[in-house]
């Protein structure tokens, strides 16, 4: 008799543990998320009250474009001041964080002297939040002056020993879910790499998600960041590291995001669409922090460092190919997912359900302006060997099946 004869999981009544997909009849997992999540339209106005639980000095890292930065930062600093919190704008970042950015910000924080009572307030997309998380760690860990020595498979392999400074994350895009992850992705272009600083303690202490802050995000950024979230939700669901709580969150996130992303792109002032995409992005961050990712997110960093492709768009371009290369080993899971998140009749077989799901994703990509070919992202044939080599990171390790260098090379060549 199965150990769990009547578990309701992923919408089904499980009488056979094999229906848990890649899970066995025993469960063992950890689950992490920020200690406090605050979500809601207009709730940025609580930043002062929330900030007081972390400290009395806020060091602000902004990822806001100039057109909106003055108004948003002005409002936030007034709210902090009303709660007796001093604030300083330490950095503005409008690109993905690089090693020198982290090192510079960490040094700037150290120059403030006594950091007791200080916290970092990140307002922006994943770049600003990842920069804050990394700088918060390097500012208190001084075994090396450079974050490169702490990154995975880079430098000296140093570990975070001292507790990082607290981080309060306020995302202004709906995509990366960086407000809920325990890693910070840092890039270098000479030498070329894109690697993570990873430690449970760099999770933001507070994630304050106000979807109203995403209203001014341009359509192209809305599309790229939204498809990043969708990719994360799908890859976390089928990852070889998939776990039950994140899988349930992935279903909820896709039910929100798949119908909402087109509306968010076409009508950026839609409160419903913006709320759904922000919530889906948050869930995607929690999911990837616990279940990992896969091939699309394995290749995307390589496309970023070698071809300067925007991360979200790189993920979106790779998503249909990632689904196809993994469908044979995750057909049951993908079919289950399709039946839960898109209009697929329960009477059709698994293969047909997966076909419909991939077609739906491709149609969605087309509607929001995702390129079909890698050449549209500026990829050249001579770059493929470097792309293959740089795709072997933590994300690829979560892919449902092993993909050889030869297979990946062939895949990328076909996508040019």
Per-residue HEC secondary structure of 122-138 comes to EEECHHHHHHHHHHHHH
Q: What is the mean pLDDT of residues 101-125?
A: 91
Residue ranges of domains in the chain = 1-30, 36-214, 219-415
Shortest CA distance to 317 belongs to which of 265, 264, 387, 371?
Answer: 371
pLDDT at position 344: 77
The pLDDT of residue 4 is above 90: no
Q: What is the mean pLDDT of residues 83-102?
A: 96
Cα→Cα distances 212→168, 193, 275, Å: 18, 34, 8
The pLDDT of residue 98 is above 80: yes
- Joined together, the tokens standing for residue 353 give 């359900």
The pLDDT of residue 11 is above 60: no
The pLDDT of residue 20 is above 80: no
Domain 36-214 has CATH 3.40.50.1970: yes
Per-residue pLDDT band for 116 (boundaries 50, 70, 90) equals confident
Q: What are 383-386's contacts with CB under 8 Å, separation 24+?
A: 383/306, 383/307, 384/409, 384/412, 384/413, 384/416, 385/409, 386/192, 386/302, 386/306
Instruction: Round the average pLDDT of the chain to a whole number and report it.
Output: 92
pLDDT one-digit tens code per residue, 308-354: 999 999 999 999 999 999 999 999 999 999 999 998 777 789 999 99
The pLDDT of residue 89 is above 90: yes
pLDDT at position 18: 34
Which position has the token pair 């509607």?
367
Distance (Å, whole) CA 361 – CA 155: 39
Q: What is the mean pLDDT of residues 391-401?
A: 94
CB atoms near residue 198 (< 10 Å): 18
Q: What is the mean pLDDT of residues 214-233?
A: 97
The pLDDT of residue 167 is above 50: yes
Provide the H-helix boundaries in 217-270: 219-238, 244-266
Per-residue pLDDT band for 25 (boundaries 50, 70, 90) equals low
The answer to which of 4-18, 124-138, 200-214, 379-393 has the lowest mean pLDDT is 4-18
Cα→Cα distances 246→33, 256, 288, 322, 371, Å: 11, 15, 8, 20, 29
pLDDT at position 347: 74
Distance (Å, whole) CA 315 – CA 234: 11
The pLDDT of residue 21 is above 90: no
Q: What is the mean pLDDT of residues 167-176?
A: 97
Task: Please name the fold of domain 219-415.
Answer: Dehydroquinate synthase-like, alpha domain (1.20.1090)
- Euclidean distance between the first and final Cα of the chain, in Å? 51
196 SS3 class: strand
Per-residue pLDDT band for 291 (boundaries 50, 70, 90) equals very high
Shortest CA distance to 282 belongs to which of 162, 170, 144?
Answer: 170
Cα→Cα distances 187→123, 252, 306, 409, Å: 20, 31, 11, 23
On whether the CB atoms of residues 316 and 365 are closer than 8 A, the answer is yes
The pLDDT of residue 6 is above 70: no
On whether the CB atoms of residues 235 and 297 are closer than 8 A, the answer is yes
**pTM attached to this predicted model:** 0.92
On whether the CB atoms of residues 412 and 326 are closer than 8 A, the answer is no
Per-residue pLDDT band for 24 (boundaries 50, 70, 90) equals very low
Which residues have CB under 8 Å from 36's CB, separation 6+?
Answer: 50, 205, 206, 207
Pairing mode of beta strands 86-92, 57-62 = parallel
């Amino acid at each position: 008799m199965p150990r769990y004869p009547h578990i309701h999981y992923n919408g089904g009544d499980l009488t056979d543990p094999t229906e848990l997909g890649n899970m066995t009849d025993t469960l063992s997992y950890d689950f992490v998320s920020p200690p406090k999540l605050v979500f809601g339209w207009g709730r940025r106005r609580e930043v002062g009250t929330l900030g007081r639980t972390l400290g009395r000095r806020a060091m602000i890292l902004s990822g806001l474009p100039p057109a909106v930065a003055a108004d948003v930062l002005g409002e936030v600093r007034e709210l902090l001041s009303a709660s007796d919190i001093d604030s300083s704008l330490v950095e503005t970042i409008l690109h993905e964080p690089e090693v020198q950015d982290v090192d510079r910000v960490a040094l700037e924080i150290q120059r403030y002297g006594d950091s007791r009572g200080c916290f970092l307030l990140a307002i922006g997309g994943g770049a600003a939040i990842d920069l804050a998380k990394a700088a918060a760690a390097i500012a208190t860990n001084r075994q090396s002056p450079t974050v490169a020595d702490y990154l995975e498979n880079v430098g000296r392999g140093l570990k975070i020993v001292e507790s990082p400074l607290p981080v309060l994350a306020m995302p202004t895009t709906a995509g990366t879910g960086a407000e809920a992850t325990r890693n910070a992705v840092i890039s270098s272009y000479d030498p070329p790499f894109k690697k993570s600083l990873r430690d449970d303690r760099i999770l933001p202490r507070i994630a304050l998600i106000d979807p109203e802050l995403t209203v001014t995000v341009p359509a192209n950024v809305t599309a790229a960041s939204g498809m990043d979230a969708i990719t994360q939700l799908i890859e976390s669901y089928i990852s070889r590291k998939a776990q039950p709580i994140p899988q349930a969150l992935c279903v909820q996130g896709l039910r929100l995001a798949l119908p909402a992303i087109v509306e968010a792109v076409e009508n950026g002032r839609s409160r419903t669409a913006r709320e759904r995409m922000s919530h889906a992005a948050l869930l995607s961050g929690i999911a990837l922090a616990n279940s990992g990712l896969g091939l699309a997110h394995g290749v995307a960093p390589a496309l970023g460092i070698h071809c300067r492709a925007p991360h979200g768009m790189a993920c979106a371009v790779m998503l249909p190919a990632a689904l196809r290369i993994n469908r044979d080993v995750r057909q049951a899971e993908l079919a289950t997912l399709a039946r839960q998140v898109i209009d697929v009749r329960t009477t059709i077989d698994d293969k047909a359900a997966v076909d419909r799901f991939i077609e739906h994703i491709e149609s969605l990509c087309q509607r929001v302006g995702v390129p079909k070919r890698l050449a549209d992202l500026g990829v050249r044939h001579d770059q493929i060997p470097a792309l293959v080599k740089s795709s072997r990171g933590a994300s690829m390790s979560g892919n449902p099946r092993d993909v050889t260098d030869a297979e990946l090379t062939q895949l990328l060549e076909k996508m040019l």
